[in-house]
A and B are shown apart, each in its own frame.
Chain A
Amino acid sequence: MRLAILGAGDVGRSVADLAGEYGHEVVALADSTSAAVDPDGIAVEAALERKAGDETLGTSDPEDVLETEYDVLVEATPTTLGDAEPGFSHVRRALEADRHAVLANKGPVAERYEELRALEADSAGSIRFEATVGGAIPVLSTIEDCTPQSVTAVRGVLNGTANFILTRMAAEGLDYEHVLAEAQDLGVAEADPTFDVDGTDAALKFVILANVLADGGFALEDASVDGIQSIPGSALDLAAEDGRTIRLIGEATRDGVRVGPRLVPENGALAVTGTRNIVQIETRNAGSLHSSGRGAGGPETATAVLSDVGRLPPL
């Protein structure tokens, strides 16, 4: 497949870098200011070196990317809330041109799911978005394999930053502020960790899951969301006395989405440690399935994007 990649952050760069290994060709790669475009395949390494050297990716305008001959648009620009722009428009243009779109950007799938599906229905192309939920962990494809109708609920830990903070607080008996500073030093938490610690990031992923289970109907505003900022170290100590710990747990069903700190058994499946993610897929006929792995990271998330590309039918 010929890939046009919008977004040159960790994920977009890794997709470009790994595409060849998966048998695909990159015909365009753009960040918000410039683009490298070549219908015969761009020189990925050279473009990434130019960008790393504080230069532009290439000489083309980002707008040119969508005019190129490509098969799959990889939408890896930063997640935005509300109207989910410009990611939504990028995907619309791909579908209107009868191309496929693979999203790593959570915004359009969480906030404008029905519109995306309507555009897809009128297009020869399809959309896939495995990378939006749980990074490298095959969550959506597992649900697809079980058929969404037979999945009754999805629960789990889908934010590594919050999980890292809670794990360290429990292990070291430290308070939130202290561990957050440490996580920022280690590069686990961003300078502005708000979306991770207030539950928004996890909520977007569970909204996407609810949309898949119920075939639409959910946006962030429909989710009940609590973060971990108000959890003191003493709460984790008390939980441990009882063989439990606290994790930021999300739940998605056809009835709703909920994210908040919850008590879980200390040695239970959902009490993953560090930045690890886990999902529990509850099925009607096959009990619960668990998948755990790396929920973030450039190469990890890129593998989810490239798996999606591999599942697309030829145009």
Chain B
Amino acid sequence: MGDAPDSGEDEPDAETDGGVRAYTVRLELVDEPGELLRALAPIADNGGNLLSIHHQRGNITPRGHIPVEVDLECPPDRFDDIVDALRDAGVNVIQAGEEHYGEEVSVVLVGNLVETDLSNTLSRIEDEADAVVQDLSLAAPEGTDGISSARARLAIDSGRSEEAIAAIRSIGSDKGLTVVEPLLGGEA
């Protein structure tokens, strides 16, 4: 790794498309030998220049995976290919170049959140809605056996918000919870 982007002989149009930009991708890796290398290959193979890798071992995501933050440089029109290649390789991309990718949405859940196993609800949201719970706030004024509310801020791959929200809606109806969804369409 570490090839300067303008030195790659196999990327003839790399210099003609407006130079390179720096991007950050956040990945989530299974804790197994070789996973990091496997995750970095699609970046290098698609013309990305690795700048730094922050391997947050010990900082386990709610799904039990290891978050890895990768800074890279590439021409803007290559970035989509890199993200696609990562996903094709089965690497879970949590966030890709924050300002261009990844959407953040909040939902509020209402109901017997504690009795219906809040942590199970959250892991189902992560699995079934393919979202990452970034932040959670719980209010249980009636105590844990009453009606409580939780607000979760979720990171979702860009363009997937509607699907993710639909999945959360169905988890809510499974568990008898009211899901207050964000209004996605239009200029709310």
Contacts and interface: CB of A to CB of B under 8 A. Distances in A.
Contacts of A246: 108, 180
B159 interface: no
B179 to A, nearest CB: 9
The residue among B107, B149, B153 with the most chain A CB atoms within 10 A of its own CB is B149
B159 to A, nearest CB: 18
Contacts of A231: 110, 178, 180
Contacts of A153: 185-186
Nearest to B106: A242
B24 interface: no
Interface stretch (A55-63, A177-185, A202-210, A257-265): A257-265
Contact of A244 (B106, B141, B148): B106
B37 interface: no
A263 B187 contact: no
B81 to A, nearest CB: 32
Contact of A263 (B140, B147, B148, B180): B180
Contacts of B149: 232, 234-235, 237-238
B183 interface: yes
Nearest to A231: B110
A234 B186 contact: no
A235 B187 contact: no
A231 to B, nearest CB: 6
Interface in B56-77: none
Interface residues of A, number: 30
Query: Interface size bucket, B side?
Result: 20 to 34
A244 B108 CA distance: 11
Contact of B185 (A226, A242, A265, A282): A282
B22 to A, nearest CB: 29
Given A242-B151, A262-B182, A263-B183, A235 B108 contact: yes
Interface in A228-268: 230-235, 237-239, 241-242, 244, 246, 249, 251, 260-265, 268
B114 interface: no
B137 interface: yes
Given A239-B108, A263-B106, A251 B181 contact: no
A226 B150 CA distance: 19
B178 A230 contact: yes
A270 B147 contact: no
B102 to A, nearest CB: 17
Given A238-B139, A241-B151, A242-B153, A263 B182 contact: yes
The residue among B140, B151, B186 with the most chain A CB atoms within 10 A of its own CB is B186
A231 B149 CA distance: 9
B186 A238 contact: no
Contacts of B148: 234
A268 B151 CA distance: 19
A263 B186 contact: no
Contacts of B108: 235, 238-239, 246, 263
Contacts of B185: 153, 155, 251, 282
Interface string B91-131: 00000000000000011101100000000000000000000
B188 interface: yes
A249 B184 CA distance: 12
A36 B187 CA distance: 49
Interface of B: 106-108, 110-111, 137, 139-141, 147-151, 153, 178, 180-183, 185-188
10 contacts: A153-B185, A230-B111, A234-B149, A237-B149, A239-B151, A246-B180, A249-B183, A263-B107, A280-B186, A282-B186
Given A234-B149, A263-B180, 10 more contacts: A155-B183, A155-B185, A232-B149, A238-B137, A249-B183, A262-B181, A263-B106, A264-B188, A270-B188, A280-B187
